[in-house]
Amino acid sequence: MGWTLRGHAKVKGLLSESREPATAGSLSLHAKATCTSGSARKQGALATREVLNLLHKESTLEWTFLSLSADLFSGERTGKFRLGTDQLLRDANGESRISVQDYALAMIDEAETPHHIRRRFTVGY
């Protein structure tokens, strides 16, 4: 999962753990999940949903939320991926996949040229 928040110190109240203190300006938070059990994945998904719900209620922050595909794998950077909104993106085989490299590219593209302010978006092949 990945998200970017631009706002003020109120960010501290939304997220309990951060590597850097929240300050006025921009704050980017990224988490890498290595969940192997179904239970751990479910807990991660529920926590992510809760953060998104809190962001939707927040009226003063400028935020963007980038959701993972079901399968995040180490692979090549292709630059050929699709962007979606609230639905899991699936390829022609019904798989929801994205390489870490293309996920990072989508995140950087959004940071450099924001198109999803105060919205969630997804990335996949």
- The domain that holds 36 is classified in CATH as 3.40.50.720
Report pTM: 0.67
| Sequence-separated (6 or more) residues with CB below 8 Å from residue 63 | 3, 4, 5, 6, 7, 55, 117, 118
Percent of the chain with pLDDT over 90: 54
Is the per-residue pLDDT at 57 higher than 60? yes
Structural domain containing residue 41: 2-124
Is the per-residue pLDDT at 43 higher than 60? yes
SS3 124: strand
- What pLDDT was estimated at residue 36? 52
- What pLDDT was estimated at residue 37? 62
User: Number of folded domains in the chain?
Assistant: 1
Is the per-residue pLDDT at 93 higher than 60? yes
